[in-house]
Structure formats: C-alpha cells, structure tokens
Structure 1
Amino acid sequence: MICFFFAMRCEAIPFIRLLGLKRDSSFGGFEVYRGEDITLCVTGMGKVDAACAVSAVLSSVLDIEHTLVVNIGVCAGRKAGEIYRISRLHDEDSGKDQYPDMLLKTDYPEICLHTSDAFKLDDNFTDDMSEFVYDMEGAAVFRAASSYVSPDRILLFKVVSDSGSPEGVTEELCIDLIGRYSEKLIGEINEIYASLPSSGVYDEANKIFVKYSDLYHCTEYMNNTLNRLIRFALSEGVDIDYMLAGYLPIENKKAANEALSDVERRLILS
C-alpha cells in the first residue's frame, strides 16, 4: 500500500486525477480517496489534524509492513517553484529534530523542513545548521507515521510556493506547482515501492536483528539504525549477516556506533 498525505485538496488534485482515485465516503473524519493499492488522504492544515489523519489511515492498513508513506505539499522557501526532498525535520514548537532515512536516493535536491502551527510571515530561511523550507504539517506527519512504519518508508517532498507571504498562495497556484512534478514523482515513488522487500524478507530481517541487537549492545536509537540497515541491505541483495559479523566482537556502544556507521557507508557505496 502507498499512502499519500496532503494538507489541502488543491495539492492532492493532480495525484487524484493522474492515479484515477475515487472518493471513499465510508472513511469518516477525513477526505480519503482510493485506488489499487493506493490510499490518499487530505488531512487538513496544521500539526494536530495531520497527525490524527496519519494515525487514522495507517491504523486501518492491514499490510502495514509493506506500506510506503508519502507526504507532498507546498511550502515557504527562497526559491519559488523548486521541489525538495526533506532530509531533516525541525519542529519549531517543540525544538525537536527528526531525520528521515535517506538511503533510498531520488533525483531531487535535499533540504531541511521547519514545521509550526503558525504561518511563516518573514523571509528568513536559514537556521544554525542549514537552509530550510517551512510548512505546517511535515514534522507531525513524520512523527505520527514513525509509530507505524520505519523511517526508510516515509518520504516527504515539498514545492516552494512563496517566501513568507501566504496570502498569495491560491488553489490554482498549488494545483499548478504540484502538477509540474506529479507525473515524475509518481514514477519514482512506484519504483521505490516496488523495491520494498516481501514479507519473507521481513522474517529474515527480524531474525538478523534479534541476533545482532544484543551482540552490538544496541540502545533504542542504535536498534532503529540497525533495523533499517538490515532491511535496506536485504532489499538490495546484500549479505548483511556476513557484513555485521565481520565487526565482532563489539566491546562497547562506541565501537558499535562506529561499526554501524561503516556498514551504512559501505551500503551506500555498494
């Protein structure tokens, strides 16, 4: 299942049309459209509505282990009309950062996304770490989706509509901006979805994870890293069991972190 989430219907219209989706009036609370192995939800604006919609949709998915979550929408930023893939999320209200898994590459430039429940009314798009774009839902979508799927199954794409002047963002502009990229995005998303491992691979991944979680003295954060590296490696046909065994014995958490970083580097280069 591919689950698309858009804050506004005007952002979703190009995808609804291209994918031939039909309204599912039986799904209460949110505007939901269905197609073959596709669910699209219009969440409404703001973090609370976005998080509630994501939880409602994903909790109803039967094959959650083979689900890809995609959030697409317009945002504020410096370069109007530019599309970005989000590589870091910063919640301005809580101050927390989140990091999507970027092992699966796309052709789009990567950028940080700041999220808050208020409209952005200034043209400052640089934080202490990098340039960013700004929306009102992205960080909430990612956090809610992370309760159901691993970070490598959550993709966020944002198209810049304005530089901090939301009064100029019309429905027609949103349809046009998203429509420019919709066909290419659908193609790339379908390719990523097709590359997701089957349920049999999940069983193998879980066995390898259980084996090395203790051997690597993993913290919760390290477990998340180990889990996504194992799943990615198996989807690429890499013998991750052999690779992880090559770093044993692991004496402490520092050595484990260094080993996992090296495994990630090798997987990216392979």
Structure 2
Amino acid sequence: MIFISAALFPEAKPLIETLGLKILRDKTPFPIYRNEKYILVVSGAGKIFSAMSVVFLLNEFKNSVVDSSWILNFGICGAPKESFKIGESFLIHKIKDEGSSKSVYPDILFKSPIPESVLLTVDKPVFRNEISELPNTLVDMEAFGFFQASRKFFSSDKIRIVKTISDHFTKLESEKEIGIVDTISLRIKEALPDILSILSIPVSKGNEVELQQNEIAALSFITEFLRLSETERIQLKDWMIGYKIRTGNSSEQGLSILKSANGILNLKDTGVRTREEGRKGLYALRQFYQS
C-alpha cells in the first residue's frame, strides 16, 4: 500500500478522481479515501494537523504497511517570483522549520523526473505586503510536521514530498472565472503529470546500485576519520548511493568537501579530535550529497 497526505480537499480532489479513490464511510477524525493500492488522508492546514493525520493513518492501517510501502505528501506552496514560476512542481530534498530552525532531509535514492528544491515550513501564511523580507525558497505550512510524523513509521527514503507553486506570496485569487477552491484544484490538476511521475517510482530495494572500490575506500576513510558510529556510517552510505543515482557522478567526490580550504580534514591528523568535529564533517557531507 502507498500512503498519501494532502492538506486540503481541493488539493486532493484531482488525484482522488485520477486514482479512482473512494471515501471510507467509517467515522474517522480525518477524511480517508482509498482503493486497493492507495490510501489518502486529508489533514487540514498546518504542520500539527498534518502530523496528527499521518499518525492516525499509519496506525489505523498498520496492517497494510509492507516492505514496498511509502508515503507521499503533495500540495500547493508559495515561492518568490524572481526564481520560480506559478505551476512549477518540485521534489523536496530538504525541509527547514521556521519555528525551530531545524532541518530534515528526505533521502532521494532515485533520479527525479522533476526538479528538486528546498522547502521552508511556516506556521502562518506568508504574504508579500505583510513582511519586510520574503523567504528565498518554496514555502508551505505542512511538510515539516508531515516528515517528522512519517519518520516514526518509515525510513527517510520512503518519505516523498512534492510541492506545486500556486502564488508568489500573494493571496490566491480566482482564475478563469472560477472560485479560489477550484483554482487550487486547477493548479494540482495541471501538475498531475509531475505528481504521478513521482508516485509511479517504487522504493529502492537498496541493492540496485553498488559503490565501486574507490567509493568504498572513501566511505571507509571518512568513517574512520570522522569516527562515525555504525548508524552514521549507514546513513553516509545511503547518501553516497543516492547522490550517485541522482547525478551519475562518483560519490568519492565527497572527500573533496572535507579536504577543501574550508573543510574539516587536516591530513596530518589521523582523525577528528572531538565528536563535535565529527558531526560537523558529517553535516557538511549531508549538505553536499543531498543538495
């Protein structure tokens, strides 16, 4: 079973119709639509409702979670006019929460058919005429809560987020003589090919791409030098494989980040002196492999 989350029914409606999902008539705290392959929940706006709906969904249908299961969040977002066009869709590889300043990273272990982007999750809508400095990236209100809740049930490579730009930090207006609700649905309907392209990609089995000998040597060297735990080593390996799949480049290039003038490695040393230095190095590698 593949699980899907959307904040608003107008966002969900085009996908519900395309997939032929039927509403679950049982009384539930969140509307549920499903067929034999997909289950979709409509959460309501905001990261708290998004997180609550995911926990409910995955607990309620825990018997439907199998090795091939994963979860998708999709919906509209705002973005700066200078860099993004209305109607564009993006696969999200980093989510920053404005309230806590924390960041989380979905692991993308496949070559995305659509562009990737960073996303900022905020607690209230951002409008151009209400703040002095606008964010320089995509903005939504759900993704951080969605990811944090989903992470309790799935590894980060089984969590995907697709956002479609609906506005340039302005209040959404009616379009083509239709109301705002239908305008939201229109945005998603036009973005369905992008959303479906991500929905159609199965989760990686983990053995489809292997590191070459030079990459394995780089992984071993970094693990020893940064004094990584086994969990951190596995994370690093996943990042390296994901980078290789997405870019076609050798993941050995991560060494250049640590060896750069502003990097972590001092080749005269045999390893970092403190755990803090090790974490700093691991963070730099994550930024490189997942950017």
- Residues 197-237 of structure 1: CA deviation (Å, up to 9, x unaligned): 39xx8xxxxxxxxxx9xx9764386156157469979x9xx
The CA distance in 2 between the partners of 1:139 and 1:255, in whole Å, is 26
8 Å contact from structure 1 (residues 58, 64) kept in 2:
no
The CA distance in 1 between the partners of 2:119 and 2:109, in whole Å, is 18
The CA distance in 1 between the partners of 2:90 and 2:181, in whole Å, is 20
8 Å contact from structure 2 (residues 11, 76) kept in 1:
yes
Query: Unaligned stretches of 5+ in structure 1?
Result: 202-211, 236-249
Q: CA deviation at 1:183?
A: 3.6
1:189 maps to which of 193, 199, 223:
199
- Residues 170-208 of structure 1: CA deviation (Å, up to 9, x unaligned): 211111111112144224422x22x5439xx8xxxxxxx
Q: CA deviation at 1:167?
A: 4.6
Q: Residues 224 and 162 of structure 1: is their aligned pair in 2 closer, same or farther, counting only changes over 3 Å?
A: farther
Q: CA deviation at 1:25?
A: 2.1
Q: Which residue of 2 aligns with 1:115?
A: 121
The CA distance in 2 between the partners of 1:15 and 1:75, in whole Å, is 17
2:71 maps to which of 69, 80, 85:
69
Q: Residues 224 and 34 of structure 1: is their aligned pair in 2 closer, same or farther, counting only changes over 3 Å?
A: farther
The CA distance in 1 between the partners of 2:121 and 2:67, in whole Å, is 27
Q: Which residue of 2 aligns with 1:135?
A: 140
Name the Cα RMSD after superposition. 3.4
Q: CA deviation at 1:111?
A: 1.4
Question: What does 1:66-215 correspond to in 2, within 5 Å?
Answer: 66-77=68-79, 78=81, 79-122=85-128, 124-126=133-135, 131-168=136-173, 170-190=180-200, 192-193=201-202, 195-197=203-205
8 Å contact from structure 2 (residues 166, 172) kept in 1:
no
The CA distance in 2 between the partners of 1:96 and 1:224, in whole Å, is 22
The CA distance in 2 between the partners of 1:113 and 1:140, in whole Å, is 12
8 Å contact from structure 1 (residues 65, 149) kept in 2:
no
Query: Unaligned stretches of 5+ in structure 2?
Result: 175-179, 208-219, 246-269
The CA distance in 2 between the partners of 1:49 and 1:220, in whole Å, is 35
Q: CA deviation at 1:18?
A: 0.5
- SS of 2:73's partner is strand
Q: CA deviation at 1:69?
A: 0.8
* Counterpart AA for 1:65: D
Normalising by structure 2, we get a TM-score of 0.67
Q: Which residue of 2 aligns with 1:7?
A: 7
Q: CA deviation at 1:103?
A: 2.6
Q: Which residue of 2 aligns with 1:238?
A: none
Same amino acid, percent of matched pairs: 26
Normalising by structure 1, we get a TM-score of 0.72
8 Å contact from structure 1 (residues 104, 152) kept in 2:
no
Q: CA deviation at 1:36?
A: 1.5
Q: Residues 94 and 23 of structure 1: is their aligned pair in 2 closer, same or farther, counting only changes over 3 Å?
A: same
Q: Residues 232 and 92 of structure 1: is their aligned pair in 2 closer, same or farther, counting only changes over 3 Å?
A: closer
Structure number with the higher helix fraction is 1
The CA distance in 1 between the partners of 2:197 and 2:240, in whole Å, is 26
Q: CA deviation at 1:122?
A: 2.3
For the pair shown, the structure with the greater C-alpha radius of gyration is 2
- Residues 29-48 of structure 1: CA deviation (Å, up to 9, x unaligned): 00110111210110100111
The CA distance in 1 between the partners of 2:194 and 2:167, in whole Å, is 22
8 Å contact from structure 2 (residues 110, 204) kept in 1:
no
